[in-house]
Structure 1
Amino acid sequence: MDLHDQLKNLFPDHVSEESNEPKIEKPDFWIQDEPIICKYEKRKGKPVTILEGYNGAKEDFRKLAKALKSYLSVGGSFKGESILIQGDYRDKIMAFLKENGFTVKRVGG
Structure 2
Amino acid sequence: MPVTDGIVRVSRETKGRNGKGVTLVKGLGLEPVALAQLGKQLKAACGSGGTTKDGVIEVQGDHCERVIGWLQARGHTVKRAGG
Map of 2:33 onto structure 1? 59
SS of the counterpart of 2:21? strand
Hey, which of these two has a bigger chunk of strand by percent? 2
The percent identity for this pair of structures is: 35
Structure 1: 5+ residue stretches without partners: 1-31
Taking structure 2 as the reference length, what is the TM-score of the superposition?
0.86
Which is greater in Rg?
A: 1
Gaps of 5+ in 2: none
When normalised by structure 1's length, the TM-score is 0.67
For 1:5-24, list aligned pairs within 5 A. Answer: none
Count of residues in correspondence between the two structures: 78
| Aligned equivalent of 1:104 | 78
| More displaced stretch, 47-56 vs 94-103 | 47-56
- Counterpart selection for 2:24 from 47, 50, 53: 50
Equivalent residue number for residue 11 of structure 2? 39
Q: Is the 8 A contact 2:5 2:27 kept in 1?
A: no
CA drift at 1:64: 0.7
Pairwise CA RMSD: 1.4
More relative contact order in 1 or in 2 (CA 8 Å, sep 6+)? Answer: 2
